[in-house]
A and B are shown apart, each in its own frame.
Chain A
Amino acid sequence: MREIDVGRVTEAVQRMCISSNLHLPEDVKKALVRFHAAEDWRTAKVILSQLLKNCELAKKEEVPICQDTGMACVFLEVGQEVHLTGGNLYDAVNEGVRRGYIEGYLRKSVEADPIRRGNTEDNTPALITTDIVPGDQIRITVAPKGFGSENMSALKMLKPSAGLEGICDFILETVENAGPNPCPPIIVGAGIGGNFDHVALLAKKALLRPVGTHHPDPFYAALEDDLLERINALGIGPQGLGGRTTALGVNIETMPTHIAGMPCAVNIGCHVTRHETEVL
């Protein structure tokens, strides 16, 4: 049993809330550079170069890359041999979010009630997902998620007869419907399998995987490449004004499902798909 004080969780979350909003992850940045070099449609190339310039400026001036500094999605992988001390784990996460968003001059974008609204003024509560894993460490990932892209995401309870074609059609249709709204170039996180709730989480977790990495199963790895090519043939382009660069990557996550179902969820990430990880 290894003891970890939850105060360390607070500090890590606070640090990552600030840092992830100022620094674009290396994988996304590399993809932007690569697509910028390959893009030959004038407006598209100009926009991509401005996005790269924006990232440099954000880092230098300590201004968030995007004003929508998101809801703080926090993923905890807690080793089963960890004994947490010093308080409640989720309170510690929320305290980290509160401090990070206030001290980092990040936008407070959380409403206390979905219908009656009312800003909580410190960007809490965080959206926390916990997994218990082997080992004696805690792996914390902070992924602030903006709602321009979140609003264009979709879930469909496809039936097995829809087959691979049904999956591809649904993913392409979701990207098409999203058009310029989610700030393309986007990153497409797709979940396939599980049930209604698990498939949505799969899609979200797909967005945490670095752009350019692949599903371990060659069948799905090939599907990721195929879908990326088909999405980039749609012509939506950066900001939806035309061009080749509609998506920087397609990440698929899968799990077993029921004999009667083939759920599919598509979580769209914008070109500011942020994520940072620390291990305690």
Chain B
Amino acid sequence: MERHIDLPLTEETAMSLRVGDHVLLSGVLYTLRDAAHERMICQLEEGIPIPFDTKDAVVYYAGPSPAREGQVIGSAGPTTVGRMDKWTPQLIDLGVRGMVGKGKRSPKVIEMISRHHAVYFGAIGGAGALIATHIFKNELVAYEDLGPEAIRKLTVKDFPAIVIIDCEGNDFYELGRKRYLNDERSRLFHAVPEGVH
């Protein structure tokens, strides 16, 4: 059963989520990719603040395709997040509570997620057309010159995601696969004809 989650993501809600939970996110997501991270963190070191409110914010690692006339957004699926691991600890330190993307995270990021009671959600990679139907508002926040890598504020409703790393540091990429393989093994065992074992 899917759980409805309102954003921004409070610490309390984050702590109640566990790996494998199917959730529907409603509220604001900020898109963030490589180039925006790089610029944002550089500027922060020069004393320029992050261009959005990071407290309990949820970032979406995505670079949508352009919208046609009459559309809110183009295709808008997640990008591979490992490339962003370098900057993630700083973002979590700044109060970011949730991240939506796809792909593995580094041990350092997993440790930060568990220490700061954050959550990493997985969205379905390559399902950008389907995900776009859950996005109702698309506003530019900063760095327009970065094109697809600009920071955008997306207002979403019932955006489907799965909890991949929870606040205890559990990783669903490991657990989900393990559960499947254990199940598969036990099925193979039971499939052996009677009298053989």
Contact = CB atoms under 8 A, between A and B. Distances in A.
Contacts of A148: 79-80, 102-103, 125
Nearest to A236: B177
Interface of B: 20, 35, 62-68, 71, 74-77, 79-80, 82, 102-104, 122, 124-130, 132-133, 146-149, 160, 162, 172-173, 176-181, 183-184
A257 interface: no
Contact of B76 (A67, A119, A182): A67
A166 interface: no
Given A63-B129, A270-B125, A270-B126, A181 B180 contact: no
Given A65-B75, A105-B66, A241-B173, A119 B147 contact: yes
B177 A242 contact: yes
Contacts of B172: 241
Given A105-B67, A148-B79, A239-B102, A183 B184 contact: no
Given A107-B66, A121-B147, 6 more contacts: A64-B65, A67-B64, A107-B63, A107-B65, A119-B147, A148-B103
22 contacts: A43-B20, A44-B180, A47-B124, A50-B124, A50-B130, A51-B127, A54-B127, A54-B129, A64-B128, A64-B129, A67-B64, A67-B128, A67-B148, A108-B147, A119-B146, A148-B102, A181-B102, A181-B103, A183-B126, A240-B104, A244-B184, A272-B126
Given A50-B124, A107-B65, A241-B173, A66 B75 contact: yes
A271 B66 CA distance: 22
A218 B77 CA distance: 39
A243 B172 CA distance: 13
A235 B181 contact: yes
Contacts of A258: none
Given A69-B65, A107-B65, A181 B77 contact: no
B122 A239 contact: yes
A275 B70 CA distance: 28
Q: Which of B126, B146, B173 has the most CB of A within 10 A?
A: B126
B14 to A, nearest CB: 20
A43 B149 CA distance: 31
A11 interface: no
Interface in A150-202: 151, 179-183
Contacts of B133: 57
